[in-house]
Amino acid sequence: MTLRSAIHASLLAVVSLPAAAQSLDGIRNYREHSATFSSAGQPTEAELAAIRDAGFERIVYIAFSTDRDAIANEDRLVRDLGMEYVQIPVIFDEPTVADFESFAAVMERDPGKRTLLHCQVNMRASVFAFLYRVLHDGVPMVEARAELNTVWEPNETWRRLIFDVLEARGVTADCEGCDWAE
C-alpha cells in the first residue's frame, strides 16, 4: 500500500465513523474519571454504539428500566454490541450501602475492564463513582468531591449514603476542602 492510499484509507475511515462515535461529549453529564472508568446520565440508543466504539467493554446501569428516559431494551442492545451489561436498580430516594457494595463487587470482578456507569442524569452514578474512586482507586477525597460537584451537590439522602459507606469502610468523610453542609 502506498502512502497516498494509506492516507486516503485513514481519512475514509474517519469520515465514515458515525458522528456519535467520534465523541462521547454529547452524553448527558459524561465524566471520564480514568482510562477505564467513566460515569454519565442516560445515553441514547445511538450513543451506546459510540460507547462501544470508544473502547468500553462494560456498562453498569444503576436505575430502573421504567425510569424516565430509560431505554427499555438497553440490556439487549448493549449485549448485541458485544459489551457486558449489569443492572443494579437503585431507588433514588432510598440508596443503600448494599447497592454500592453490589456495584463495587462488579467493578472488582474485573477492575481493568473499561466501564461506563450510568443512571438517568449522573446523580446516582456520580456518587457511586466518588465512593469507588476514593475507596478503591485511592483518589484523594477532595479531588473526587470536586468532580462530584461538577454534576451536583448531593442532597441529604445521598450525603447520608456517602457517610454510611465511608463509615462501613472505616473512612471518615472529613477532609480539608470538603464542605458537606447542605
On the question of pLDDT at 1 being above 50, the answer is no
pLDDT tens digit string along 60-105? 999 999 998 999 899 999 999 999 999 999 999 999 999 999 999 9
Q: How far apart are CA 17 and CA 8, in angstroms?
A: 14
Task: Kindly state the average pLDDT of the residues 1-11.
Answer: 40
pLDDT at position 152 is: 96
User: What domains can be seen in the chain, in order of their start residue?
Assistant: 19-168 (3.90.190.10)
pLDDT at position 6 is: 40
CB atoms within 10 A of CB 112: 8
| Average pLDDT over the chain, rounded to an integer | 89
Q: How far apart are CA 61 and CA 106, in angstroms?
A: 11
Banded pLDDT at 15 (limits 50, 70, 90): very low
Banded pLDDT at 180 (limits 50, 70, 90): confident
Half-sphere exposure of 57 (CA within 13 A, CB side): 10
On the question of pLDDT at 123 being above 80, the answer is yes
More confident residue, 16 or 128: 128
Q: What is the per-residue DSSP string for the chain?
A: --HHHHHHHHHHHHHHS-HHHH-STTSTT-EE-SSSEEEESPPPHHHHHHHHHTT--EEEE-S-TTSTT--TTHHHHHHHTT-EEEE----TTS--HHHHHHHHHHHHHSTTS-EEEE-SSSHHHHHHHHHHHHHHS---HHHHHHHHHTT----HHHHHHHHHHHHHTT--S--TT-----
Q: How far apart are CA 141 and CA 134, in angstroms?
A: 6
Q: How far apart are CA 154 and CA 123, in angstroms?
A: 8
On the question of pLDDT at 147 being above 50, the answer is yes
Contact 24, 54 (CB under 8 A): yes
